[in-house]
Chains A and B, each alone.
Chain A
Amino acid sequence: MTVKKLSGAEIVVEELKREGVETAFGIPGGALLDLYEVLYNEGAIKHILMRHEQCAAHAADGYARVSGRTGVCIATSGPGATNLVTGLATANIDSSPIVALTGQVPTSAIGSNAFQEASTFTITMPITKHNFLVTRTEDLPRVIHNAFYIASTGRKGVVLIDLPKDVQAKRVEVELHPMDTFPGYKPNIIPNKAQTKRAAEALVNAERPVILAGGGVISSGATEELRNLAEKLGAGVVTTLMGKGAIPETHPLCLGMAGMHGHIYANRALNECDVLLALGTRFSDRLTGWQLDQFAPDATIIHVDVDAAEINKNIQVDIPIVGDVKLAISDILKWLAKERIREGTVWLQRIKEMHSACEDCIRDVWRAGSSTSDILIKELSNILDGNAIVTTEVGQCQMFAAHYYMTREPRTFITSGGLGTMGFGFPAAIGAKVAAPDRKVVDIAGDGSFLMTCQDLATCVENDIHVVVCIFDNRYLGMVRQWQELFFDKRYSHTHLGITPDFVKLGEAFGCYAERVEKPEDLKSALNNAFESGKPAVLDMIVGKEDKVLPMIPPGGGITGMIGTERCKRI
């Protein structure tokens, strides 16, 4: 450790560099002048100026989900910080690691309703894993080190650091780069051996094993272990929305996403299994439906999660394992070392049948009765062929994407699962593209969602961030309209969006490449034009106004009570 005399702002930047931060997404302001003064000449940290703080948080989130590293966003005091809130809540509920830095009025003015003052510390308390209001410049090294440690370990999440103006300005002698952590934070990642043994025994004795892969599989980097375990056990694999990408969806054991808008056979597998191994999932209501007695009714449930508070929270489980998913699967595989790979079982035959029924449904683009939205998303999936990073907005576009877009790799399907934040996909795509500049990045958007954050097209153009926004343009808040159609007698209360804007002109006004896709057949050339344009791009895809995402579990229903299954292949 070295003792230096530095300003608070200089300490912040030194510590960010020590944590390996290369990119930050933010907007300066009065309470951040000191910090931005230091960033002005800073070569090691690239700052991307966003056009709205919500987008700064979503971009940091997208960056984190694609890279696996902690995202950083910066906003000024008062409105800057309150604008961050939606983005931070989105990241935190999906366990995405972010460190947020906010400006604050000087400590002497805190509590006086000073200009641009809001109590960021109390406002963000319930939507962060932890937060700090720093009142002494000397505390900065320890706070920043621990903020990154807390955000990126255990169940990952958001940590916010509120930085009063005088704390940034004051010069003090400090020791940089401390190592000490907080006594109350010791994430428990090592699974209990006796529990993994019990799990292994249950799995060996299972006739119809199913693995439910959640976002925890991806965040712990356990995709290879998952695949090995599934193949060894002859287990079907279904994923949650957050778990999409945990296993290639073309893998013969994969039955796709389960849940409210999941594949019928993914849900059926959950219903038929006798042992369910749930990995890194919190059994959200969008997965389980509302009739919990229909969820895996005959199964011994094994639940692995790094957060002990998730065990027995929504579903009562038989074998709980608290710890890192990757370590837990590795332990289970060790217990199974002497077992042979399961082959030719009745259950494997059943999985094969269900997998091919799903695949037919997804690959067979022009199946009779498909809506324009179905066809477009299948086309998009076929064209991109699992090679792009896809982000989604929220609503119908998201569920079409979840249902029909086939992922091959982890960290290539980025969506707001827990909070369901409209306006997330586009700024998340910005963060994704910054994290993976060599990959194609496509935001699957709805017209309603996209208008919530589209001002950041300016950020894309100014910084040469070439993302492609594909808008499902039905001039409706589609998912709400669908519910109104199905459950509220077609009374479309305030879901029609009217005729503005012209999305092609909107894109062009920002200097993007823009094209209207009137028919699904035209998507391929339009996408090609977009990728070749050397610009960020907006594709306005005209879809059926009353297209519906089906099948679905109706409100109040259980996992076996899906409606709209007419187009699903019967087996």
Chain B
Amino acid sequence: MQTHIISLLVEDNPGVLTRMSGMFTMRGINISSLTVSPCEKEGLSRMTVAIKGSESELEKVRKQLSNMIEVLKVVDLKVNDSILRDLCLMKVHTRNTDARAEVMQLAESYGAKIVHASLDSVILELTEEPERIDRLVELMKHFGLKQLFRTGITAIGID
């Protein structure tokens, strides 16, 4: 199953999120990530929804979303033609000096910032393509991830 990223332009009304997510629930589709934020037009919001599913499921979902009265635009963002970003905050165990040095080195090579450090852990921040974040997360699991927070994907089409 492929990950699809759908970008929606919606009216900023109470209930829009419920209506949108309810449509996915009705069809048994799990939303793997979701961001909602204001956009360049007053009174409208932009949602970026990531789902896993087949092409035909995506097509059905796209049409159902277009049918919603409060949805103005539905774009199926192709990974190659879009800029994708995810923001990640993670707290990593650093039980000894060696571990701390290694974590900091790896963080640096990924361009992650160390935003806080205590004796037994550090907090890293990384804004990147989701797949690169996945890789850093995998590496950090080796040291022990205390907590992981991700905002979910936000994306913009190049054209």
Are A309 and B69 touching (Cβ within 8 A)? no
Q: Which of A126, A185, A311 is within 8 Å of B69, CB to CB?
A: A185
Are A184 and B72 touching (Cβ within 8 A)? yes
A-B contact count (CB 8 A): 40
B52-77: CB near A (< 8 Å → 1, else 0) gives: 00001001100110111111100000
Are B22 and A183 touching (Cβ within 8 A)? no
Which residues of A sit under 8 angstroms from B64, Cβ to Cβ? 309
B14 within 8 A of A: yes
Query: For window 147-192 of chain A, which residues contact chain B by CB distance below 8 Å?
Result: 150, 182-185
Bound Cα distance A388, B72 (Å): 44
Are A184 and B70 touching (Cβ within 8 A)? yes
Are B22 and A312 touching (Cβ within 8 A)? no
A99-141: CB near B (< 8 Å → 1, else 0) gives: 0000000000000000000000110011001100100000000
Are A183 and B63 touching (Cβ within 8 A)? no
Are B69 and A130 touching (Cβ within 8 A)? yes
CB within 8 Å for A126 and B26 given contacts A121-B15, A312-B59: yes
Query: For window 36-58 of chain B, which residues contact chain A by CB distance below 8 Å?
Result: 56
A273-289: CB near B (< 8 Å → 1, else 0) gives: 00000000000000000
Are B67 and A309 touching (Cβ within 8 A)? yes
Are B69 and A308 touching (Cβ within 8 A)? no
A307 to chain B, nearest CB (A): 7
Are B68 and A184 touching (Cβ within 8 A)? yes
Q: Which of A125, A150, A182, A309 is within 8 Å of B18, CB to CB?
A: A125
Bound Cα distance A311, B68 (Å): 17
Total interface residues on B, using CB and 8 Å?
20
Which residues of B sit under 8 angstroms from A309, Cβ to Cβ? 60, 63-64, 66-67
A92 to chain B, nearest CB (A): 13
Which residues of A sit under 8 angstroms from B60, Cβ to Cβ? 309, 313
Are B26 and A150 touching (Cβ within 8 A)? no
B128 within 8 A of A: no
B7-19: CB near A (< 8 Å → 1, else 0) gives: 0001100110011
Are B66 and A308 touching (Cβ within 8 A)? yes
Which residues of B sit under 8 angstroms from A130, Cβ to Cβ? 69
Bound Cα distance A311, B56 (Å): 11
Which residues of A sit under 8 angstroms from B10, Cβ to Cβ? 184
A135 — nearest CB in chain B belongs to which residue?
Answer: B14
CB within 8 Å for A308 and B15 given contacts A130-B69, A150-B69, A182-B69: no
| Interface bracket on A | 10 to 19
Are A133 and B14 touching (Cβ within 8 A)? yes
Are A125 and B15 touching (Cβ within 8 A)? yes
B16 to chain A, nearest CB (A): 10
Which residues of A sit under 8 angstroms from B26, Cβ to Cβ? 126
A146 — nearest CB in chain B belongs to which residue?
Answer: B69
Which residues of A sit under 8 angstroms from B69, Cβ to Cβ? 129-130, 150, 182, 184-185
Q: Which of B11, B22, B66, B67 is within 8 Å of A125, CB to CB?
A: B22
B95 to chain A, nearest CB (A): 47
Bound Cα distance A566, B62 (Å): 46
Bound Cα distance A150, B67 (Å): 11
B20 to chain A, nearest CB (A): 10
Bound Cα distance A308, B66 (Å): 9
Bound Cα distance A183, B26 (Å): 25
A322 — nearest CB in chain B belongs to which residue?
Answer: B63
Bound Cα distance A184, B11 (Å): 8
Bound Cα distance A121, B71 (Å): 18
Which residues of B sit under 8 angstroms from A313, Cβ to Cβ? 60
Which residues of B sit under 8 angstroms from A312, Cβ to Cβ? 56, 59
B53 to chain A, nearest CB (A): 15
B73 to chain A, nearest CB (A): 8
Which residues of A sit under 8 angstroms from B66, Cβ to Cβ? 308-309
Are B14 and A122 touching (Cβ within 8 A)? no
Which residues of B sit under 8 angstroms from A126, Cβ to Cβ? 22, 26
Are B72 and A183 touching (Cβ within 8 A)? yes
B86 to chain A, nearest CB (A): 28
A183 — nearest CB in chain B belongs to which residue?
Answer: B72
B23 — nearest CB in chain A belongs to which residue?
Answer: A126
Which residues of B sit under 8 angstroms from A150, Cβ to Cβ? 69
B14 — nearest CB in chain A belongs to which residue?
Answer: A133
A331 to chain B, nearest CB (A): 22
A537 to chain B, nearest CB (A): 41
Are A184 and B15 touching (Cβ within 8 A)? no
Bound Cα distance A185, B19 (Å): 15
Which residues of A sit under 8 angstroms from B11, Cβ to Cβ? 182-184
A333 to chain B, nearest CB (A): 28
B15 — nearest CB in chain A belongs to which residue?
Answer: A121
A311 to chain B, nearest CB (A): 8
Which residues of B sit under 8 angstroms from A129, Cβ to Cβ? 69
Bound Cα distance A129, B72 (Å): 16
B42 to chain A, nearest CB (A): 13
8 contacts between A and B (CB under 8 A): A125-B18, A125-B22, A133-B14, A182-B70, A184-B70, A307-B67, A309-B67, A313-B60
Query: 8 nearest interchain CB pairs?
Result: A309-B63, A184-B72, A130-B69, A185-B69, A309-B64, A308-B63, A184-B69, A184-B71
Given contacts A130-B69, A133-B15, 7 further A-B contacts (CB under 8 A): A122-B18, A182-B11, A182-B69, A184-B71, A308-B63, A309-B63, A312-B59
Residues of B within 8 A of A (CB): 10-11, 14-15, 18-19, 22, 26, 56, 59-60, 63-64, 66-72
